[in-house]
Each structure stands twice: as structure tokens, then as C-alpha cells.
Amino acid sequence: MSTFSEMADLGHEQLVFCRNDEVGLRAIIGVHNTTLGPALGGCRLWNYANEADALRDVLRLSRGMTYKAAVAGLDLGGGKAVIIGDPASVKNEGLFRAFGRFVESLNGRYITAEDMNTTVEDMNWIGRETRWVTGSAKYAGGSGDPSPVTAWGVFHGIRACLEVVYGSSDVAGRTIAIQGVGSVGYHLARYLHDGGAKLVFSDISERKLAQCVDEFGGRIVDGDDFYGVDCDVLAPCAIGGTINASSIPGIRAPIIAGAANNQLDDEKRDGAAVDKAGIIYAPDYVINAGGLINVYAELKKLPSEKAMADAANIFNTVKVIINKAKAQGITTTQASNQVAEERIEQVARIRRLNLPSRGIEL
């Protein structure tokens, strides 16, 4: 497929290829849709096997951000950037500052942030060259690590699912299994523990597991045993693609609600399989929007309390989506996609009205 056909297929507005041999920069910025506002999305650094893989990733990820922002009710469009290279060897000040200059050249159409293999410190370098960066360190004027806000949103999304299944959103006494107790999973465990939940942990890091059991009690399960844990909620907070044809048949929990991106290996196939198994699935991009809500608050100079309140509102959003899915006999992901598309279309319609905002000039 040609690049233009791939863009048309997913509905992209713009792709920007960025090259600077002096610092070894090869990056692609994807601007998917700016109907609701500037395209915001993180910058991923990854050692892609080839350029086609990088292109596919930036197209898919930037489209996902459009949906995430739309459902979260933010005035943001969807964008994402990928830098091609080995994180162990290419990172340096020049690389990120060069990337920052390309971001600046888009004059706010794209706003960047952290993603896989890019850190608060990297955002600080980018911020030396452009205003259009979020998530830099608090001492550099940014909002810092978004993980606690993401976890707060996931916590409230879990409460919404519990209310639908059990008639009460209270986490006290409920058993929740968390896969991945990294930045988000750890804070989620803290909120759940404070709410009186019983916890089960799975991670590849013995150190992180030991820290969680030490602080929150609970028990540890090995690897794939996570999926079959007898619990109320499975919360995948590690990697994508874990809800798939081999894991779904063993799942005993009535709810899947976690922070990880792209949990469904195949959105259509696995979304339908989960639904058929009678499991409530909180769409990942809906329940993990707290991080985006946090950087939006940073951009709008809103207090952190407002970001936490908006992340807590994920409770209502998740309920609306589950109820819509039930009413229409569709999967929760189909329902959330519809909510996003309807909102974007409404705003696009208003734009097409083409009414002058400041009177008609001669």
C-alpha cells in the first residue's frame, strides 16, 4: 500500500518525516485529526526493524490518540511521533533538541510528550527548542510523571465496572489482580489497598513484587497464571496484546480493566470473544486517559486538583460506554469508538457552519 493510501485508510491529515544525519535523527510525526484541537501524543523511541514498521506504528498510535482525547472530552486532536533507533545507543541532547526543532516547525499542530523509551529528562531537552512539549519535569515547568493520575483514572474505571457487575462500586473486600506493578500499576495498587481491596500481583521484576507485597500485602502469581486468577477484576498494567485467543478461555474474572495500551490483541476478534464470555471489558484508551488529562491540564495551566477530578470522571465515562454497549448489543470498544466519532463529527459539523466569529469584514 502507498503511504497516501495508508494515511487515507486510517484518516490521517499529515505525516512529517524528519531527518538530521548530524545527530542521527530519523523520526516520523503523525498528525491524525485536529478537529477537536492540536494533535497531542507521546514520542516513542524504538529500534524498528524497518521504516515500514515505524510508519505503521506512528499511523496506528496517532489515530488511537484522536479517540482517546475525544472520549475524554478534551479539546485535543490525535498525534504521535516515533524516533527510529536503539534506545541504548542513540539517546543524546542533540537528538532530542533536533526533534524539538521539527516539533516547533509545526507551530502547535503537534504537541509531544513522553512515551516508550523517552523520559521526563528527554522532554526537558525537547523543551529547549519548542514550547510544544508536555510532561517535562516539574522543575522545568512541566507536570512531571503522569502515572499517579493515570492510576487514579483506572481506579475509578474499575469502580464503574464493579458497580455494573455487583451493583456497588466499593472496592473494599474485592480481589483485584494487577499485571505489571510499574509506574501505573504500583499507584493503582496503592489506591486499591487504601480502599480495602485484596490484591494479587504479577510482574517480571522480583524487586517490584516484593515492594508491593511489603507495602500492600496480597499475593504473587507467576506469569500466565495471572489470567486464571479467581478474582473480581483483572487489571493488565504491563504490556499490550495480553487479552488474546490463548488467554481468554482461562479468564475467570468478570471484569478486565487496566492501564495497558492495546490490551486486546485483535480489537474486533478478541473484543467479541471477551463479550461472548460475559466479561466486561473497560476499553484501554478510555480507562487509561488520566495521563492525557494530566498533560491537558498542564497545557491549560489548570491546577492538579482539576486533573485528578477529571480523571475520577472516568467512572462516569466507563459507565456510559458499558451501558451503550449493552443497549446496542455491541462490544464496549465499538461503543467507545462510536462515542469518539460522534463527538468529532459534531464539532466538524459546527466548523462547517462557517459562521464568522468576529463579524464579516469587507
Q: Provide the binding-site residues for ligand NAD, judged by CB under 6 A.
A: 146-147, 150, 179-185, 202-205, 208, 237-239, 259-261, 288, 291
Cβ neighbours for 54, distance < 8 A, ≥ 6 positions apart: 28, 46, 48, 82, 84
Burial 231-242 (b: 16+ CB within 10 A, else e): bbbbbbbbeeeb
In the bound state with ligand NAD, the residue whose beta carbon lies nearer, of 106 and 238, is: 238
Q: Coil, strand or helix: which one is 268?
A: helix
- Shortest spacing between CB 143 and ligand NAD, in angstroms: 11
Contact indicator for 290, 138 with CB cutoff of 8 Å: no
Instruction: Tell how far CA 232 is from the center of its chain.
Output: 23
DSSP reduced 3-state for 200: strand
Phi, psi at 186, each rounded to 5°: -65, -50
Cβ of residue 221: shortest distance to ligand NAD, in angstroms? 10
Q: Among all chains, which residue has been given the C-alpha cell 462516569?
A: 316
- Kindly state the smallest distance separating residue 125's Cβ from ligand NAD, in Å: 20
3-class DSSP state of 122: helix
Q: Work out how close the CB of 148 gets to ligand NAD at its nearest, in angstroms, rounded to a whole number.
A: 8
Q: What is the nearest approach in angstroms of ligand NAD to the Cβ of residue 295?
A: 9
| Residue listed under C-alpha cell 487515507 | 8
Minimum separation from the CB atom of position 147 to ligand NAD (A): 4
Q: How far apart are the first and last CA of the chain?
A: 47
Q: Which of 68, 80, 91, 319 is catalytic?
A: 80
- Classify strands 39-40 and 77-84 as parallel, antiparallel or unpaired: parallel
- Nearest distance from C-beta of residue 34 to ligand NAD, angstroms: 21
Residue type, 274: V
Residue with Cβ nearer ligand NAD (237 or 335): 237
The sign of the CA dihedral 327, 258, 58, 6 is negative
Of 30 and 291, the one with the shorter C-beta distance to ligand NAD is 291
Tell me if 66 sits within 8 A of 78, measured CB to CB: yes
CA 239 to centroid of chain Cα atoms: 12
d(CA 57, CA 43): 11
Q: Which helix (H) or strand (E) holds 16?
A: strand 14-20
Pick between residue 75 and residue 225 the one whose CB is nearest to ligand NAD.
225
* Nearest residue to 80 via CA among 21, 25, 15, 142: 15
Residue 326 designated active-site = no
Residue number with CB closer to ligand NAD (261 or 338) = 261
C-beta nearest to ligand NAD: residue: 182
Q: Which three cell numbers stand for residue 307?
A: 486533573
Q: Kindly tell me which of 48 and 201 has the beta carbon lying closer to ligand NAD.
A: 201
- Written as one letter, the residue type at 173 is G
What is the rounded CA–CA span in Å between residue 324 and residue 142? 36
In the bound state with ligand NAD, the residue whose beta carbon lies nearer, of 143 and 334, is: 143
Instruction: Give catalytic residues, as residue numbers.
Output: 80
